């Protein structure tokens, strides 16, 4: 049973590392980016709206994403815990998560903050080549990260939940740092 948030800039490896961490712990990954891409692919009303923001590197509105995550965390498979990837991304989202968990008598175990130099991140995203990974949106997403998401590092440090992880290294090295940080490694 773990409730963990993965925090970090686009391209830092939250997706890959999050999958591994969740599989090992037997809990689902809740990736807001994946959920939104699915909605876009299915052309749901949400997807049609979100696509515009995603393609320009902006965030979708807080109230929209907060509602989606609240519902998702109530599903049966998430009752034993979850790894959140891509949420929260703003202070209002973090506040909403805190109150949702509190209402249920729950709390986050840890916030794993992954970091890597910006030139490395940009390089990785351009290699990855997702439809929103053009050099223009990459720059925009890094800027949005700095302005809206990076303040969450201080937010969670103050709540004493923050564990800082160096996101440069081999997949195994980084996973091992993460496991140690949540006390799952001998």
- Where along the sequence are the contacts to ligand ADP (CB under 6 A)? 10, 32-33, 36, 53-54, 57-60, 65, 86-87, 89, 93, 141
131-140: long-range contacts, CB 8 A cutoff, minimum separation 24:
131/55, 132/54, 132/55, 132/57, 136/57, 137/55, 137/56, 137/57, 138/10, 138/11, 138/57, 139/57, 140/56, 140/57, 140/58
Cα 31 to Cα 16, 157, 185, distances in angstroms: 11, 22, 24
Q: Which is nearer to ligand ADP, 1 or 63 (CB)?
A: 63
Q: Let me know: does 44 contact 36? Beta carbons within 8 Å.
A: no
Residue carrying the six token digits 């815990």: 81
Q: Let me know: does 140 contact 58? Beta carbons within 8 Å.
A: yes
Rounded to a whole number of angstroms, the minimum distance from the CB of residue 3 to ligand ADP is 16
Rounded to a whole number of angstroms, the minimum distance from the CB of residue 127 to ligand ADP is 13
Q: Which is nearer to ligand ADP, 1 or 59 (CB)?
A: 59
Rounded to a whole number of angstroms, the minimum distance from the CB of residue 93 to ligand ADP is 6
Rounded to a whole number of angstroms, the minimum distance from the CB of residue 33 to ligand ADP is 2
Q: Nearest-CB residue to ligand ADP?
A: 33
Q: Which is nearer to ligand ADP, 1 or 48 (CB)?
A: 48
Rounded to a whole number of angstroms, the minimum distance from the CB of residue 129 to ligand ADP is 12
Q: Which is nearer to ligand ADP, 72 or 89 (CB)?
A: 89
């Amino acid at each position: 049973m773990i409730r963990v948030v993965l925090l970090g800039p686009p391209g830092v490896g939250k997706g890959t590392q999050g999958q591994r961490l969740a599989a090992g712990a037997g809990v689902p990954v809740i990736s807001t980016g994946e959920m939104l891409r699915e909605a876009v692919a299915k052309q749901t009303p949400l997807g049609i709206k979100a696509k515009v923001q995603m393609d320009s590197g902006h965030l979708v509105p807080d109230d929209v994403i907060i509602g989606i995550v609240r519902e998702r965390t109530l599903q049966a498979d998430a009752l034993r815990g979850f790894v959140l990837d891509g949420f929260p991304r703003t202070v209002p989202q973090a506040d909403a998560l805190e109150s949702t968990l509190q209402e249920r008598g729950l709390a986050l175990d840890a916030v794993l903050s992954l970091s890597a130099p910006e030139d490395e991140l940009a390089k990785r995203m351009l290699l990855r080549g997702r439809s929103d990974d053009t050099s223009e949106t990459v720059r925009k997403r890094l800027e949005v990260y700095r302005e809206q998401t990076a303040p969450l590092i201080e937010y969670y440090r103050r709540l004493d939940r923050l564990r800082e992880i160096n996101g440069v290294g081999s997949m195994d090295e980084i996973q091992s740092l993460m496991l140690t940080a949540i006390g799952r490694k001998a």
